[in-house]
Structure formats: structure tokens, C-alpha cells
Amino acid sequence: MSERIDYKTIAPGAVKAMGGVYGYVAQCDLPKRLVDLVYLRVSLINGCAYCIDSHSRDLLRGGLSAEALALVPVWREAGALFDERERTAFAWAETVTRVAATDVPDADYAAAAGVFGEKELVDLTVAIGLMNLMNRMAISFRKTPEALRYLAP
């Protein structure tokens, strides 16, 4: 897979704006592990190799076990590996990412609002939206995953 466009070079203002949103999410009150798990789950749904690689590495560096990492795609079957807030964040990330199919039903909102405060839910939704945008950029322009840069022959 070869990169189509180096969008960081072509549109640095857009990348800076995305970085501003990333910085906002990083400083909000949501735990880093929860945000990184959501970034990974959204990237798995969208099939973004670059972001899956990046967020998997971040989570492993942050202390997530390889076993938990392997079960993110099937988090509903992962039992106690993920706490209630993480499971709720996964469910919210799935319904928001698949908005065209789900229309984000009231029951999904009620479940998320029952676990997260209003500001947390807005911040979580911003994180989900940001990752969807970043996935679309990386997929569209074939951003090369770091694993391919170091491990490919």
C-alpha cells in the first residue's frame, strides 16, 4: 500500500485544526485509557489500519494487556476486562460511528447518559467524531501504518 497524498504537508491548517480537537480531548476529564479504547474501537469499525496500529501501540504502552487488546472487537464477550464506563463508551462509539444505520436511538442515548455526565458525553462524542474524521483521512489517502514502516521487508 502506498500513500496517495501526504495530507499533513498539503493541508497543514486542517491537520492543525484536527490537532486542536485532539488536544481538547486529551485535556478533558475522560480517562486516557477510555479515550484510547474508544479511538481503537472506532478505528476497528472503520477498518483504519494506520489508526488501529497507532492506538493499539498507545494502549499497550499504557499498560493494557495483550489479552484485553485482542478482545476490544468483541468487548461484549470480554467480561470484566472492561469496566462499565468503558463498555458504555464502546456502545456509544458504535452507535455514533454507525449513525447512518443506527440514527443513534433514544435507548442508546439513555444508556450513555446514565453512565456519563453531560459534559463527559459531549467530550466522548467529540472524541468519536474526531476519530471518524482521522480514520477517513488515513483511509482515503492510504496513510502507512507504523508497523509496515518497521516490519515490512
Query: What mean pLDDT is predicted for residues 61-79?
Result: 97
Q: Is the pLDDT of residue 152 over 60?
A: no
Contacts 24+ apart (CB under 8 A), 120-125: 120/28, 120/29, 120/30, 121/92, 123/25, 123/28, 123/29, 123/30, 124/30, 124/38, 124/89, 124/92, 124/93, 125/92, 125/96
% of the chain beyond a pLDDT of 90: 90
**Is residue 2 pLDDT above 90, yes or no?**
no
The CATH number of the domain holding residue 85 is 1.20.1290.10
Judge whether 31 lies within some domain: yes
The end-to-end CA distance of the chain, in Å, is 13
Q: Let me know if residue 129 belongs to a domain.
A: yes
Compute the average pLDDT of residues 50-58.
Answer: 96
pLDDT of residue 18: 97
Residue 55 covered by a domain? yes
- Specify if 147 maps to a domain: no
- Whether 23 maps to a domain, the answer reads yes
**In Å, how far are 28, 43, 58, 105, 121 from 117, measured between CA atoms?**
13, 24, 26, 18, 6
Question: At residue 1, does pLDDT exceed 90?
Answer: no
pLDDT in tens, 110-146: 999 999 999 999 999 999 999 999 999 999 999 988 8
Decide if 153 is inside a domain. no
Q: Which tens digits make up the pLDDT trace of 89-118?
A: 999 999 999 999 999 999 999 999 999 999
The pLDDT value given to residue 151: 61
User: Has residue 24 been placed in a domain?
Assistant: yes
Give the global pTM: 0.93
Give how many domains the chain has, as a whole number. Answer: 1
Range(s) of the domain holding residue 21: 7-142
Q: Does residue 150 sit within a domain?
A: no
